[in-house]
Homo-oligomer: A and B are copies of this chain.
């Protein structure tokens, strides 16, 4: 009778993870995405839809009955793709690009497929151990001091991303004279002023490659000042950390041996898909003391043996994905050799773009380029002559207009920054499909739009 009951039961239920259905549908989506990459160059880079476009196209409620994948993929193509700003387009030069890769994608697939919740060692030992191993590998590639590695008493952990509430920190001004890097003098006077005001400075976030201009703080003098006041020094190399696996860029990290923690985002410029922020600390106990939770339902022999890392105690959230798989696949599939080649090719393209700018006297590079991001503007003499605003303001406005005109065309996508009062266009090379020909074309687009705007004004 038991078996009859089972039979009946199985007819009533659904099989959401049937291996052969998974195989069939998985192949369909792989083909869909391969075709997407083949065609991505044809789409406007910055989406051209208007706010609310999707609500007009989709039904008001979830369907009651199941719908076939074929139909859903048609809708993705018809309704979703037009609303995507194509970060994987070779003509994407905005923010910092997110460099997807086949290996990163495959690693994410494996992680999603296993779908383990690796909050502690026991919940999937491989998830914890691979993460520790890969973080040691990466730390060695970056020549981080041994104190940051597990073998040296420190350790690394993968987070989603890094962010701090702006109410809890103050920005310290930088100037062109120091290439927009934070100086020890500015740090010291800010600390002193805060102490005078009754505050307790406790954390310094120094930056290797700022978001606006990829400026670099000189770590050694900053660490010296911070040490006097007992301040924790974090080195945020979210963007530029990747480049430091190349010997010619490693000097930007000089002084990191005196910092307490270091991070970079592999999802920016390291062929790893979102999200994957690599964080190292010299003293993991500092994390554990602040973040540990140990409710009864998580207690287990391995944790009590103190022989294992429970990564839940190294992060704010409890749940965590098996992120190290994608990093492992990236490191193995490309190797140190090809990762360096990849990063260098972007730096070379950015240099090429700088060279193109230099040949057109109307344009200028505003801050020195450190990596693969060029901050530039147009500064033609005609502008500002008959304006009621100041000349600098007129130039800023013109550049903002130019950038919007370029982005509206959908041919390329760049974003802006304001550095020392100067509005700049940021040309950030970093998308995985970008080749030198795209950089050359991008420059032509910039010139064409500048010509058109100048003719009109």
- Verify if A436 is at the interface (C-beta below 8 Å from B): yes
Among A98-106, A190-198, A251-259, the stretch in contact with B: A98-106
Q: Does A228 contact B (CB under 8 A)?
A: no
Within 8 A of B (CB), among A87-128: 87-88, 95, 98-103, 105-106, 108-110, 112-117, 121-127
Across the interface, do B51 and A125 meet the contact criterion of CB distance under 8 Å?
yes
Residue of B at shortest CB range from A23?
B34
A248 interface hit (Cβ, 8 Å): no
Bound together, the chains give a CA A275 to CA B322 distance in angstroms of: 11
Q: Is the CB of A72 within 8 A of B332?
A: yes
Q: How far is the CA of A212 from the CA of B305 in the complex (A)?
A: 23
A103 with B321: in contact, given A124-B84, A130-B54, A417-B296 (CB under 8 Å)?
no
Distance in Å from the Cβ of A305 to the closest Cβ of chain B?
A: 7
Task: Please count how many residues in chain A sit with their CB below 8 Å of the partner chain's CB atoms.
Answer: 147
Cβ contact within 8 Å between A415 and B297: yes
The answer on a CB contact under 8 Å between A335 and B100 is: no
Copies of this polypeptide in the complex: 2
Closest B residue to A102 by beta carbon equals B22
- Interface 9-residue window, one of A25-33, A229-237, A357-365, A380-388: A25-33
Stretch at the interface among A4-12, A175-183, A280-288, A448-456: A4-12
User: Hey, which chain B residues are within 8 Å of A440, CB to CB?
Assistant: 2, 6
Let me know if B112 and A108 touch, CB within 8 A: yes
How far, in whole Å, are A325 and B75 apart by their CA atoms in the complex?
Answer: 12
Q: Is the CB of A87 within 8 A of B115?
A: yes
| Sample of 19 A–B contacts (CB below 8 Å) | A16-B101, A17-B100, A22-B102, A23-B31, A27-B27, A51-B308, A55-B132, A62-B138, A62-B141, A66-B332, A83-B130, A88-B115, A100-B115, A108-B112, A109-B112, A115-B273, A160-B160, A212-B297, A296-B417
